Amino acid sequence: MPELVVENLKKSFAGNAVLEDINFTVADGEFFTLLGPSGCGKSTTLACVAGLEHPESGTIRVGDQVFFDGDPRSAVPPEGRNLGLVFQSYALWPHMTIAGNLALPLKLRKVSGPEQKRLIDEALDKVDMLHLRDRYPHQLSGGQQQRVALARGIVYAPGVLLLDEPLSNLDAKMRDQARIWLKSLQREVGITTVYVTHDQVEAMSLSDRIAVFMHGRLQQVGTPTEIYETPATPEVAGFIGRCN
Ligand code: ADP
Ligand code: MG
């Protein structure tokens, strides 16, 4: 299985630099978190990896498939990138059942009917939602909808899963439960995951490694212990709650 490599990424909006020289590598099966305050460029980084935005320069690849090499004209379109996406507003289509919501990405990929059913049931089973496959989204709690959104993100077995603050719509108690459950799901599925959050507790408890973002720059990449014990800058120390 491939690793994700992001090199020298730069991005501006209307002349304002939002990402400057972003470099990181996510190993196969790793849970890698982009952590930083609101507005520091985490979602823009994910959008570049997903192909929803193009950087001004830099390269992005998964294994030996080059998604972006600096030239937007040769960029692989989002649907060609074999990535699972779950964003903050994990909107499910309200007029479709849970199974219908999972079927759509498979239909887009031209997966046959019987295979669709097998993959949908397998993904729903992984998130303990199989018994609700024929319900509609409004009949589910927020936590259940969030699980279904994750199942939709993994149903076609993407190479890399991109999660942008997927727990932020949940209340604090459900968020704690969802965190525990998300970690066990990731271990079970073994999928390479890039997780975005502004919540240092979430990052510390879920991640194999964390990249700390501030003002569009990477301050430090390391394990939760490294980041906590030896923050590279006073900004990192301040952000994770250490007062060195
Ligand atoms: P984060 O996810 O870390 O909160 P974002 O990546 O969403 O940060 O945003 C980084 C910066 O880029 C912010 O200042 C934001 O206002 C700006 N930005 C993001 N998307 C756009 C856009 N489409 N057009 C203009 N500015 C944007
Ligand atoms: Mg964001």
Q: What is the ipTM score, two decimals? A: 0.98
Determine contact, residues 225/205, Cβ cutoff 8 Å.
no
Which residue is closest in CA terms to ligand 1's atom 12?
A: 18
Q: What pLDDT shows up at residue 1?
A: 54
Structure tokens at 189: 């599925």
Ligand nearest to the CA of 34: 1
Q: What pLDDT shows up at residue 2?
A: 67
CB of 209 shorter than 6 A to ligand 1 = no
Determine contact, residues 239/212, Cβ cutoff 8 Å.
yes
Q: What pLDDT shows up at residue 101?
A: 95
CB of 11 shorter than 6 A to ligand 1 = no
CB of 39 shorter than 6 A to ligand 1 = yes
Q: What CA dihedral angle connects 176, 194, 217 and 15, to 10 degrees? A: -110
Q: What pLDDT shows up at residue 176?
A: 85
> Within a 10 A sphere around the Cβ of 241, how many other Cβ atoms?
10
If you ran DSSP here, which 8-state letter would residue 52 be given? S
Q: Read off the pLDDT of residues 93-151 as tens digits, 9 standing for 90 and up.
A: 999 999 999 999 899 888 999 999 999 999 999 889 999 999 999 999 888 998 899 89
Structure tokens at 144: 């259940």
CB of 44 shorter than 6 A to ligand 1 = yes
